[in-house]
Amino acid sequence: MNIGFGFYPGGKRKALTMSYDDGQVHDRKLVEIFNRYGIRGTFHLNSGRFDIDGFLKSSEIRDLFKGHEISAHTLNHPYLTILPGDMVATEVLEDRKNLEELAGYPVRGMSYPFGAYSQELVEILPFLGIEYCRTVNSHNGFQLPDDFLAWHPTCHHKQGLIEKAKAFKNIGKWAQMPLLYVWGHSFEFEWDKNWDLIEEFCKMISGDEDVWYATNIEIADYVKAMKSLKFSVDRKTVHNPSAQDVWISVDGEPCRVEAGKTVKL
């Protein structure tokens, strides 16, 4: 019996997630496009900028991002790498606090303002309740991150997005849990007058039964649950101590391991 880890929830082989920063008013149009095509993603917001010209209103946050993830981007969007530790803590915790009041759930993810990060920040963030944090360092591939606190995306939407989508759609079944992770800012579509780009991408990538359309935190949670599985030495029994179902590969076929259950393989 061959045990592997090639599946996302529902036995899907691939995953797509989107990641957009800053919370400007153009997020409204981007969310509308995502919703129309069943694309899901994460919006990293600076709560200190709500209710000022060009940015979203605090009163619309919960309803606007329903079905997506509300995530932190710090209170005021500073370069965290040059701040004293106590100011880093304030920027992150106050943003989380404000967003949680609006979202109605714990905010556990973040993206680095300006993409600026350091090993010191990677070590600090877990103590501030952050479980993943996205960089701006594109790797142009489809692999899962080595470190969720330095989560490098596949690409910015300006970096050959349609070509990336085509490659992702055509990737073989040999690939190990491929993930297409796109990031950017919604205002860039307005500035560049190319809303048709994201519309074309969403239309091309949507409706694929082999793709899990997920938020950033859903992917992080699923991988954590997958890595928490407990196998017997002979690999004939597995226990899932997590609160969510996990799909593993048994002789190449998806096998569901229910949350909290022990399964004979």
What confidence tens digit (pLDDT) does each residue in 209-241 have?
999 999 999 999 999 999 999 999 999 999 999
Looking at residue 173, what is its pLDDT? 82
Run of H or E residues at 31: helix 27-37
Average pLDDT score over residue span 76-94: 98
Average pLDDT score over residue span 173-187: 95
Spell out the domains of the chain, with CATH numbers in brackets: 13-221 (3.20.20.370), 225-264 (no CATH)
Task: Report residue 219 CA to chain centroid gap.
Answer: 6
Mean pLDDT of the chain: 97
Confidence of residue 136 (pLDDT cuts 50, 70, 90): very high
Looking at residue 1, what is its pLDDT? 81
CA distance 75 to 132: 17
Look up tokens 């990060």; give the residue: 117
Looking at residue 53, what is its pLDDT? 97
Average pLDDT score over residue span 111-137: 98
Beta bridge partners of 180: 16
At residue 139, does pLDDT exceed 90?
yes
Looking at residue 93, what is its pLDDT? 98
- Torsion, Cα of 62, 31, 142, 140 (10° steps): -120
CA distance 152 to 133: 9
Average pLDDT score over residue span 53-76: 98
Confidence of residue 40 (pLDDT cuts 50, 70, 90): very high
Confidence of residue 172 (pLDDT cuts 50, 70, 90): confident
Helices and strands: H and E segment counts in the chain: 8, 14
Looking at residue 252, what is its pLDDT? 87
CA distance 96 to 74: 8
Looking at residue 174, what is its pLDDT? 84
Structure-token pair, residue 178:
């491929």
Contact 142, 180 (CB under 8 A): yes
Looking at residue 239, what is its pLDDT? 98
Looking at residue 62, what is its pLDDT? 98
